[in-house]
Amino acid sequence: MGFFELSDAAAMLRKARRELDRLAREPSIDHVFNFFVTAHSVTDYLKGTVAEADRSALLAEPDIQLCRDVSNKAKHMRLDRGRPDPATHRASGALGSAPFNTVALNASGERWVRWPDGTEVEMQSFGTRVLARLEQFLTAHGIAS
């Protein structure tokens, strides 16, 4: 049983969709945090709803593992269980010593996460991939979203 009206995986997926829309409009850290914590929570809401083997297979997918890393790092400040600890950075839009807003490079203020192995993802496009995979999984399992 969920909390408030967030009672099942489909409700959490709809919340993740709203959070990603907010992130697309404003790349603030609040929206990054909310999206990835919500998206990872969808997998928790699948417990008892789909076969555990199917849920485990989803959790083993690389993008879903990285989503879990972002969510857990955001909530707990560090990762354990043998997962490499990622770091964040933000594309500022500056070029060398040029003042801000005089060179329009990465002016969107993109937020990135980088893992020690060199894996790097931009939060908006990565979030879009994660959401699409979760939508596909729920649809394949007959869960309305």
Domain positions in the chain are 9-84+121-140
| Residue 117: how many other CB atoms lie within 10 Å | 8
Question: Contact 12/103 with Cβ under 8 angstroms?
Answer: no
The Cα 99–Cα 96 span in angstroms is 9
Q: Where does the pLDDT of residue 107 fall: very low under 50, low under 70, confident under 90, or very high at 90 and above?
A: very low
The Cα 59–Cα 80 span in angstroms is 16
- Quick check: 68 pLDDT over 90? no
β-strand partners of 88:
113
Question: Contact 82/56 with Cβ under 8 angstroms?
Answer: no
Q: What is the mean pLDDT of residues 81-101?
A: 52
The Cα 34–Cα 32 span in angstroms is 6
β-strand partners of 121:
113
- pTM here is 0.76
**pLDDT above 70 as % of the chain:** 66
Q: Tell me, what's the pLDDT at 118?
A: 79
CA 27 to chain centroid, in Å, comes to: 13
Top-confidence residue, 33 or 60: 60
Contacts of 99 (CB under 8 A, 6+ apart): none
Antiparallel, parallel or unpaired: β 87-90 and 111-114: antiparallel
